Structure 1
Amino acid sequence: MFTLKLNTISLLMCFFFCTLSHAQKDTTYIDQNFKVNETYSLFGDNVKLRAEPNTTSEVVTLVRIGDTITILKKTDEFLQDATSKSAWYEVDFQGNKGFIAGKFIANTHKKSGNQQFYFRFESDDEQGKLHIRIVHNTKTKAYTEATLKLLDENIGVSFEEHHDLKNVLRILKVNYFGDSCGAESGKTVLFLDTNYKLIKVADLSSIGDGGVYSLSETFTYKTDENNGQPIILFTKEEEEQVDEEKRWFETKKITRIYEWNGSKLVPEFSKEFKKRIEN
């Protein structure tokens, strides 16, 4: 009976912590499917709205990146090229009905600061990808773009301020959510620089297994007390239950300080820690 109670408690703790990890208020989850009667933004620019679901039919009008459309229906037709295959959708754009392939539609859109971010998810047999376009001039529709290979397909995105880091406009985080307790989750951290280029900085892991084991890797943005310059504190914490009956846990915490020189972390980012050997 005592063992049953402990197992029940562990399951409840697992449910609580996994649910908590999914409840990040600042995160926009990326739904990989388009829903009928929902409104979406265009990921492509100067996309041809076609009269029929093919590339040879009449062009109804052109649609710019960021313009909004309403999905009316998913068709059984596909647009296929050397790198991708996507369904054609019947859509409504400002009263004009026509067809646009899914590869030109953003799964989600977020505004952060003065930039508009458009995200398009792409799945393949090996590894999912997240295509990102950043519109930095809403009048001319000028944009930059990047593609991120995903560690997992259950994702959301969130933003953080630049914390006075050199040449950084803001911080983008791609958050991963494990399918079950004990599964690895975490985030990929990217910096948007002053040229509107996204720079991948680090992959940070997180694991929670119902109070039996936990792993947390985090960045904390601080100010160096010696010179007043911004620094990044990387912290890795592990906790493992070594005796369930006596409720004994072993905890290990390691930290490392990084600086951002305007284009990369110094020293080079690594999760490996080696003790310094004195000569």
Structure 2
Amino acid sequence: MKAKQILSILTILTICLSTKAQEKVHCIYEDCGFEPGQTVYLFGDQVQLREAPTTNSKVLKTLSIGSPLVIQEKHENSWPYKGVDHPFYRVTYKGVAGYVLGGLISLEKKVINDVVHLFGRSKTGDEDYLLIRSLKNDGSFIEKSTRLANGQFYLSALGNKGLPNIEGILFIDYLTEACGVEGGGIYLFQQEGALHQVARLSQTSDAGVYYYWEEFIFPEDQYGVPGKIRYKKEIGENFNEAAEWEKMSKETKILVWNNLNLELAQR
């Protein structure tokens, strides 16, 4: 195999197998659950802390959304919630031990400009969704739902990355452990305390044959444009390595966030 071909394949494999440096990956598998000793927060509201891991056992306390819990252990009993089967967890709340269904516990807690965001999952048919509940000062919340193209992902709060008029960015960052798996992710911008879905970017590749790559470059990034977003898309195909028959296309544009929409920048 030619050195050029080896290098090309290794480069694409690096893209396929690279992972980000965030702390926790969320997924549909058991090993992505909660760990003993972990502090978690309730995704559900008016959640019943129960004496046993069943839906009809004695209620010890009723807890509000965002309440902190400490995981003690996962139980083998499970129950469906929003289309997903979840195990019960033994937890403690202010010294009181009891059981809570895993689907009522937030995957993670992110705070953007003092606004707390909590996360859950739902499933409709073959479609996976991420649920986002943003807490308000009066104890109520606003819920958003977004379809997931990949069931494994990180949740990243990125700050505003130098963009004006937004308080921060939430990035649903897909984990790609193998070629052919959908990468990229979903960007949401927070403005006046509310999250707004901005874009879905795709990054996929088939080693040595094909790749499709979209990305945002923000003002604080290398090659960023002050106050604006640089969008880049590149598509490449390798038809015949021996004949060096390759095809590549690129697209770039400068965008601005205006009136809750992404628009082309104007001179």
TM-score by length of 1: 0.76
For 1:80 and 1:25, locate their aligned partners in 2 and report how far apart those are by CA, in whole Å.
30
SS for the counterpart of 2:167 is strand
Q: Does 1:52 align with 2:52?
A: yes
Q: Does 1:239 align with 2:236?
A: yes
Please give the residue correspondences for 1:36-51 in structure 2 after superposition, counting only pairs within 5 Å.
Answer: 37-39=36-38, 40-51=40-51
List runs of 5+ in structure 1 lacking aligned partners: 268-279
For 1:62 and 1:150, locate their aligned partners in 2 and report how far apart those are by CA, in whole Å.
31
1:110, distance to aligned residue in structure 2 (A): 3.1
Q: Percent identity at matched positions? A: 24
SS for the counterpart of 1:103 is helix
Amino acid at match of 1:185: G
1:156, distance to aligned residue in structure 2 (A): 1.4
* Cα-to-partner distance string for 1:35-72 (whole Å, 9 max, x where unaligned): 45242322123322112334443321233314122142
For 1:6 and 1:237, locate their aligned partners in 2 and report how far apart those are by CA, in whole Å.
20
1:203, distance to aligned residue in structure 2 (A): 1.0
SS for the counterpart of 2:106 is coil
Q: Does 1:265 align with 2:262?
A: yes
List runs of 5+ in structure 2 lacking aligned partners: none
Equivalent residue, structure 1, for 2:251:
254
Match of 1:230 among 217, 227, 250: 227
Alignment CA distance shift 1:17-1:217 (3 Å): closer
Alignment CA distance shift 1:27-1:266 (3 Å): farther
1:210, distance to aligned residue in structure 2 (A): 2.8
TM-score by length of 2: 0.79
* Count of aligned residue pairs for this structure pair: 254
Please give the residue correspondences for 1:199-218 in structure 2 after superposition, counting only pairs within 5 Å.
Answer: 199-218=196-215
For 1:26 and 1:88, locate their aligned partners in 2 and report how far apart those are by CA, in whole Å.
26
Alignment CA distance shift 1:14-1:231 (3 Å): closer
SS for the counterpart of 1:128 is strand
Alignment CA distance shift 1:142-1:80 (3 Å): closer
For 2:87 and 2:155, locate their aligned partners in 1 and report how far apart those are by CA, in whole Å.
25
The higher radius of gyration belongs to 1
1:204, distance to aligned residue in structure 2 (A): 0.8
Deviates more, 1:116-125 or 1:126-135: 116-125
Please give the residue correspondences for 1:171-182 in structure 2 after superposition, counting only pairs within 5 Å.
Answer: 171-182=169-180
Contact 2:150 2:182 in 1 (8 A): no
1:14, distance to aligned residue in structure 2 (A): 4.4
SS for the counterpart of 2:218 is strand
Equivalent residue, structure 1, for 2:75:
74
* Cα-to-partner distance string for 1:178-229 (whole Å, 9 max, x where unaligned): 45213332111111121x2221111111123334332211122349xxxx98
Please give the residue correspondences for 1:142-153 in structure 2 after superposition, counting only pairs within 5 Å.
Answer: 143-153=141-151
Alignment CA distance shift 1:217-1:49 (3 Å): same
Alignment CA distance shift 1:262-1:161 (3 Å): farther
Q: CA RMSD in A?
A: 3.1
1:263, distance to aligned residue in structure 2 (A): 1.2
For 1:73 and 1:160, locate their aligned partners in 2 and report how far apart those are by CA, in whole Å.
31
Contact 1:75 1:90 in 2 (8 A): no
For 1:98 and 1:210, locate their aligned partners in 2 and report how far apart those are by CA, in whole Å.
49
* Cα-to-partner distance string for 1:85-140 (whole Å, 9 max, x where unaligned): 54433322233121212221112233444233322233443211111123465xx6
Alignment CA distance shift 1:35-1:190 (3 Å): closer
